[in-house]
Protein backbone atom coordinates (compact mmCIF):
# COMPACT_ATOMS: atom_id res chain seq x y z
CA UNK A 1 0.00 0.00 0.00
CA UNK A 2 2.82 2.40 0.85
CA UNK A 3 4.29 1.81 -2.62
CA UNK A 4 0.95 2.71 -4.18
CA UNK A 5 0.78 5.89 -2.12
CA UNK A 6 4.30 6.82 -3.19
CA UNK A 7 3.48 6.22 -6.87
CA UNK A 8 0.35 8.34 -6.48
CA UNK A 9 2.33 11.11 -4.79
CA UNK A 10 4.97 11.00 -7.52
CA UNK A 11 2.29 11.07 -10.21
CA UNK A 12 0.68 14.06 -8.50
CA UNK A 13 4.00 15.91 -8.43
CA UNK A 14 4.60 15.23 -12.13
CA UNK A 15 1.01 16.12 -13.02
CA UNK A 16 1.18 19.27 -10.91
CA UNK A 17 4.37 20.37 -12.67
CA UNK A 18 2.73 19.80 -16.05
CA UNK A 19 -0.51 21.48 -15.00
CA UNK A 20 1.28 24.51 -13.53
CA UNK A 21 3.25 24.98 -16.72
CA UNK A 22 0.09 24.62 -18.81
CA UNK A 23 -1.87 27.06 -16.66
CA UNK A 24 0.99 29.55 -16.70
CA UNK A 25 1.16 29.31 -20.47
CA UNK A 26 -2.60 29.64 -20.84
CA UNK A 27 -2.71 32.59 -18.44
CA UNK A 28 -0.12 34.35 -20.57
CA UNK A 29 -2.11 33.57 -23.71
CA UNK A 30 0.43 31.01 -24.90
CA UNK A 31 -1.06 28.01 -26.67
CA UNK A 32 -0.05 24.63 -25.33
CA UNK A 33 0.79 21.89 -27.80
CA UNK A 34 -0.16 18.37 -26.71
CA UNK A 35 1.42 15.36 -28.38
CA UNK A 36 -0.50 12.11 -27.88
CA UNK A 37 1.76 9.10 -28.25
CA UNK A 38 0.61 5.77 -29.64
CA UNK A 39 3.81 4.20 -30.99
CA UNK A 40 5.28 1.68 -28.53
CA UNK A 41 8.85 2.97 -29.01
CA UNK A 42 7.77 6.55 -28.33
CA UNK A 43 5.84 5.46 -25.26
CA UNK A 44 8.91 3.55 -24.05
CA UNK A 45 11.04 6.72 -24.32
CA UNK A 46 8.43 8.81 -22.49
CA UNK A 47 8.01 6.07 -19.87
CA UNK A 48 11.75 6.11 -19.19
CA UNK A 49 11.44 9.81 -18.31
CA UNK A 50 8.40 9.17 -16.14
CA UNK A 51 10.05 6.25 -14.31
CA UNK A 52 13.14 8.34 -13.58
CA UNK A 53 10.95 11.24 -12.41
CA UNK A 54 9.08 8.87 -10.09
CA UNK A 55 12.37 7.70 -8.53
CA UNK A 56 13.50 11.31 -7.97
CA UNK A 57 10.07 12.29 -6.59
CA UNK A 58 10.02 9.35 -4.18
CA UNK A 59 13.57 10.08 -3.07
CA UNK A 60 12.76 13.77 -2.51
CA UNK A 61 9.64 12.83 -0.53
CA UNK A 62 11.69 10.55 1.75
CA UNK A 63 14.24 13.32 2.23
CA UNK A 64 11.50 15.84 3.11
CA UNK A 65 9.98 13.46 5.66
CA UNK A 66 13.39 13.32 7.36
CA UNK A 67 13.47 17.12 7.61
CA UNK A 68 15.38 18.18 4.50
CA UNK A 69 14.61 21.42 2.68
CA UNK A 70 12.57 21.43 -0.53
CA UNK A 71 15.35 22.50 -2.91
CA UNK A 72 18.00 20.46 -1.12
CA UNK A 73 15.87 17.31 -1.28
CA UNK A 74 14.80 17.81 -4.90
CA UNK A 75 18.33 18.51 -6.10
CA UNK A 76 20.39 16.01 -4.11
CA UNK A 77 23.02 14.52 -6.44
CA UNK A 78 21.62 10.99 -6.47
CA UNK A 79 21.71 8.22 -9.04
CA UNK A 80 18.01 8.92 -9.60
CA UNK A 81 18.68 12.56 -10.49
CA UNK A 82 21.45 11.51 -12.89
CA UNK A 83 19.08 8.97 -14.46
CA UNK A 84 16.40 11.64 -14.87
CA UNK A 85 18.85 14.02 -16.56
CA UNK A 86 19.92 11.19 -18.87
CA UNK A 87 16.33 10.16 -19.68
CA UNK A 88 15.33 13.77 -20.46
CA UNK A 89 18.44 14.30 -22.62
CA UNK A 90 17.87 11.01 -24.48
CA UNK A 91 14.18 11.73 -25.12
CA UNK A 92 14.97 15.27 -26.31
CA UNK A 93 17.67 13.98 -28.67
CA UNK A 94 15.44 11.24 -30.12
CA UNK A 95 12.31 13.41 -30.30
CA UNK A 96 13.19 17.08 -30.87
CA UNK A 97 9.51 18.02 -31.21
CA UNK A 98 8.95 16.92 -27.60
CA UNK A 99 11.46 19.50 -26.42
CA UNK A 100 9.61 22.51 -27.80
CA UNK A 101 8.41 25.11 -25.31
CA UNK A 102 4.77 24.71 -24.27
CA UNK A 103 4.71 21.11 -25.53
CA UNK A 104 3.40 18.24 -23.45
CA UNK A 105 3.90 14.58 -24.25
CA UNK A 106 0.88 12.47 -23.28
CA UNK A 107 0.38 8.73 -23.32
CA UNK A 108 -1.50 5.96 -21.58
CA UNK A 109 0.82 3.82 -19.47
CA UNK A 110 0.41 0.27 -20.83
CA UNK A 111 1.31 -1.19 -17.42
CA UNK A 112 -1.56 0.39 -15.49
CA UNK A 113 -3.80 2.28 -17.94
CA UNK A 114 -3.09 5.65 -16.30
CA UNK A 115 -2.66 8.80 -18.36
CA UNK A 116 0.74 10.44 -18.15
CA UNK A 117 1.69 13.97 -19.24
CA UNK A 118 5.26 15.22 -19.29
CA UNK A 119 6.89 18.47 -20.35
CA UNK A 120 10.53 17.95 -21.32
CA UNK A 121 11.26 21.70 -21.35
CA UNK A 122 9.61 21.98 -17.91
CA UNK A 123 11.71 19.15 -16.53
CA UNK A 124 14.83 20.62 -18.13
CA UNK A 125 14.15 23.95 -16.41
CA UNK A 126 13.69 22.18 -13.08
CA UNK A 127 16.92 20.25 -13.59
CA UNK A 128 18.76 23.44 -14.55
CA UNK A 129 17.60 25.07 -11.32
CA UNK A 130 19.36 22.25 -9.45
CA UNK A 131 22.63 23.23 -11.14
CA UNK A 132 22.45 26.81 -9.87
CA UNK A 133 24.28 27.60 -6.64
Sign, CA dihedral 6-10-16-19, equals negative
Give tens-digit pLDDT for 9-64.
445 555 545 544 445 545 566 788 999 999 999 999 999 999 999 999 999 999 99
pTM score, whole prediction: 0.76
Give tens-digit pLDDT for 1-12.
444 444 444 455
Give tens-digit pLDDT for 100-133.
999 999 999 988 999 999 999 999 999 998 887 6
- Of 34, 31, 42, 19, nearest to 94 (Cα)? 42
Contact 123, 132 (CB under 8 A): no
Q: What range does the domain containing 87 cover?
A: 2-131
Domain count for the chain: 1
Amino acid sequence: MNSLLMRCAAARIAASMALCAAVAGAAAGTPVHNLFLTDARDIADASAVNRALTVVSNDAARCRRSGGGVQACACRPTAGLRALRSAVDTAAARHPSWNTDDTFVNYTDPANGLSVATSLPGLARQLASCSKP
